[in-house]
A and B are shown apart, each in its own frame.
Chain A
Amino acid sequence: MELSGKAHISAPRAEVWSALLDPDVLRACLPGCEALTPTGPDAYEASVVLGVAGIKGSYRGRVRITDRVEESRYRLAVEGAGGGNRIKGDAVIELRDAARGGTDVHYAGEAQIAGTLAVVGQRLLQPAAKSLTEKFFASIGTQVRKRVAEGRRA
């Protein structure tokens, strides 16, 4: 399954960058995220509860960040399993200054799904993944704006 798109966040690139790599922000923004624990530099262990295509399950997995170019781009590798399902994904996240101000986050990735999710949910996975991604970036936007506002107050 391919997943690519663009999200606009009305905050400067540096703010968005640091939010995207901040475990606390990610924990708050990742849909269904119950825990996100750093296990090393740019490596995390995550646990997520999600219902996709009528299949609810809890997933545990590893997240790794590589190919990091400060404030510009990184590669995100995710591997998770739970309830007989397996998810493996790989995406490149790229940050660019948006013409109208703020930051455009471009993402392009591919995910492989196996298990009940794949068997039953194939048709619904793509739209579900898209909606989850949109939700994620929307709440990143909220978090970043909150941080920027808090920063100004401080």
Chain B
Amino acid sequence: MMEFLTQGWILELGWIVAKIMVVIGPLLIAVAYLTLAERRVIGFMQLRKGPNVVGPFGLFQPFADALKLMAKETIMPAGANKVVFMIAPMLTFILSLVAWAVIPFGEDLVIADINVGILYLFAISSLGVYGVIMAGWASNSKYAFLGALRSAAQMVSYEVSMGLVIINVLLCAGSLNLSDIVEAQRGMWFALPLLPMFVVFFISTLAETNRAPFDLPEGESELVAGYFVEYSSMSFALFFLGEYANMILMSSMTVVLFLGGWLPPFDIWPLNIIPGPLWFIIKIMLVLFVFLWVRATTPRYRYDQLMRLGWKIFLPFSLIYVVLTAGFLLVTDRLPAVTLS
């Protein structure tokens, strides 16, 4: 009896681990190729070629970079707080991976289909600030610390408007479950009725992932490289990977909330034979391309402009839009039905 129980338990655990591996493996490869895509795309936008030497079209460049980083020496700064210094990059990387547990890749293609999926995503993304702030503090360096403080203030500010944008989507979907949110977009993607919120959300994700034009935490012209200036070798690579995994995560969050997740744009013949996960990946890639496009074309924001945008424009705007959306849904009697007890 006992043996049978333990075996069932092990099988279940093995199945879960297998599912996690199926998500994490391709994700890491996607992260590697996103770094290459970034350099190539920005290269073409700036009329350069970008890295094209290692392998055909430079396709082996990520592996060359990874090997180079691994071969380098890990340097521990003299006055650094060793424990926190080493935990910070791990935390960043782990947080960028655990959020994938609730992302639905297709109908029933999700590791954990929990009721509060969107809140879980929101919670995990709000924890990303700890990796940055711990790294900045533990490095015992002015530049790293200033970068970390900037980043903490920036991420906390933009989270507020992101939360309000999510409320808009929830009002339309009537559920916190990500699969339900995608299903609610079967008739029309939320990007159309909530277009202003879609734009606000996308800009907030740029700020949340510390990407250009909001990459002040690592503004190299004033802070050298910001919070990870003291990091080298693999600990630097973990920050780097975490940042790109976060970009992909935020893109997939945008896709789930606004661009109909795994649903085809129209439910007509040539479009609906393409499997759901493929649609999901295509949409993520489109959003990621815009991430790179923005980086290649916009100058960096000044810090007070960044704060002004977050607190004085996005916050009131999304708050008013919540009232508008709720009012519209109530008046036209389109509020999603919720069964109580």
Q: Are these two chains actual partners, yes or no? A: no
Q: B: which residues have CB within 8 A of A?
A: none
Q: A: which residues have CB within 8 A of B?
A: none
